[in-house]
A and B are shown apart, each in its own frame.
Chain A
């Protein structure tokens, strides 16, 4: 689905954001893109959608170079940015203007999603709250039936019931033909949806591994005391939340926040485990 090869990218020549980054992404997965502020999550997503251009290296998305912005590719990409602008029209006018760009657009699915998200259809888009606007573009994006779904912080601004609805909608939107990439800081909102973790740090991919692979190699658990087997630990009320090699084939639940902090702190120790 996506092949990134030796990608070099930056907003200025002197400050590279990605140095020789390479990565392959395939359909049938929900990738969770993690990284500190400024690590380049949104920039990577924009590269994939053809919204910014690489300095060197190749980007292949479904056989196309996204920088060329060919309609045949763009109609297969659903991009939900973190910041967006919606015009001063109602939903039906918005649909009339935008849906024709996507030849597989599913109008009845869109109507279902709008109903499920409880969006007031009589209201102008510009007068809606941030969360309501966000739900409109999520519904529109999924109704395009695009094969590549890119979402930048999709749960930002959603209220509590909408987050649960969003998870249900994404669980049903994930098909074998689709590749879904979600960047997020709110890992607790989404950790059970993500099947593969991609973490960006220091101009490159610091980790790309499936949840299954991570929990086969690492154990996440609460311990009373710290010993040498522990790679990384954080103090908690009842002891420590710890990450350690999975010596005894334990089937623990991946703690994505703990993993994130562990990799930032102990990158060198994790490298040999995931290469």
Chain B
């Protein structure tokens, strides 16, 4: 995986796991890769993945069945959405807002752009 420069690695791995859950690649009650498996795949220290998994446990996105491994939580999708929404509002939205302000983009124009984007990318 290509990591970005501006965010702690353990959080970038958390995003990766969340992405897999949102896209339905890892489903509720299914086992997720072990700490070591994911560390090897990502080429990172297993302690970093452990930190990711602790964070995701705290957010009830995955849970730890002792001796068996980590599993996708039943309510994972809702919890991922909540967690990602918070992250988006804190991290990304200020940058978007700044550009909207500086470039004087109207909300009508924004709405049109948004609808086109959704149509093209998600067929919704």
Residues of A within 8 A of B (CB): 28-30, 164, 167-168, 171-172, 174, 192-195, 211-212, 215, 221-222, 251-255
Bound complex: CA A212 to CA B9 (Å): 11
B43 interface residue per 8 A CB criterion: yes
Chain B nearest Cβ from A83, distance in angstroms: 26
CA–CA, A222 to B95, complex, Å?
Answer: 14
| A221 CA to B47 CA, complexed, in Å | 23
A-B CB contacts (within 8 Å), total count? 59
Known: A195-B45, A253-B7. A212 touches B39 (CB 8 A): no
Chain B residues whose CB sits within 8 angstroms of the CB of A252 once the complex forms? 6-8
Measured in the bound complex, the distance between the Cα atoms of B36 and A29 in whole Å is 14
Cα–Cα distance between A211 and B47 once the two chains are bound (Å):
11
A-B contact list, 25 entries, CB within 8 Å? A29-B47, A167-B43, A168-B40, A168-B43, A171-B39, A171-B40, A171-B42, A171-B43, A171-B45, A172-B39, A172-B40, A174-B45, A174-B46, A192-B3, A192-B9, A192-B43, A194-B45, A212-B51, A251-B8, A251-B11, A252-B6, A252-B7, A253-B5, A253-B7, A253-B8
Interface residue ranges of B1-18 to A (CB < 8 Å) = 3-9, 11-12
B6, B9, B48: which contacts A221 (Cβ < 8 A)? Answer: B6
Q: B11: nearest residue on chain A (CB-CB)?
A: A251
Shortest A273–chain B CB gap in Å is 18
Q: List chain A residues, Cβ under 8 A from B12.
A: 253
Q: A171-B42, A195-B48, A212-B51 are in contact. List 12 more A-B contacts (CB 8 A).
A: A167-B44, A171-B40, A171-B44, A171-B45, A172-B36, A174-B39, A174-B45, A174-B47, A192-B48, A221-B6, A251-B11, A253-B6
- Which residues of A lie under 8 Å from residue B6 when comparing CB positions? 221-222, 252-253
Residues of B within 8 A of A251 (CB): 7-8, 11
Q: B10-33, CB under 8 A of A: which get 1 and which 0?
A: 011000000000000000000000
Which has the most chain B C-beta neighbours within 10 Å: A167, A222, A254? A167
When the two chains form their complex, are residues B45 and A255 in contact, meaning their CB atoms are under 8 A apart?
no
Q: Do the beta carbons of A255 and B39 come within 8 Å of each other?
A: no
Residues of A near B4 (CB, < 8 A) are 253
- Whole-angstrom distance between the Cβ of B59 and the nearest chain A Cβ: 15
A174 to B12, CA, bound (A): 21
| Among all A-B residue pairs, the 4 with the closest Cβ atoms | A167-B43, A171-B39, A251-B8, A192-B44
Closest to A164 in B: B43
Chain A residues closer than 8 Å to B51, beta-carbon distance: 212
Contact assessment for B9 and A253 in the assembled complex, using a CB-CB cutoff below 8 Å? yes
Given contacts A251-B8, A255-B5, contact A193 B40 (CB under 8 A): no
Shortest Cβ gap from B37 to chain A (Å): 9
Residues of B within 8 A of A221 (CB): 6
**A210, closest chain B residue (CB):** B47
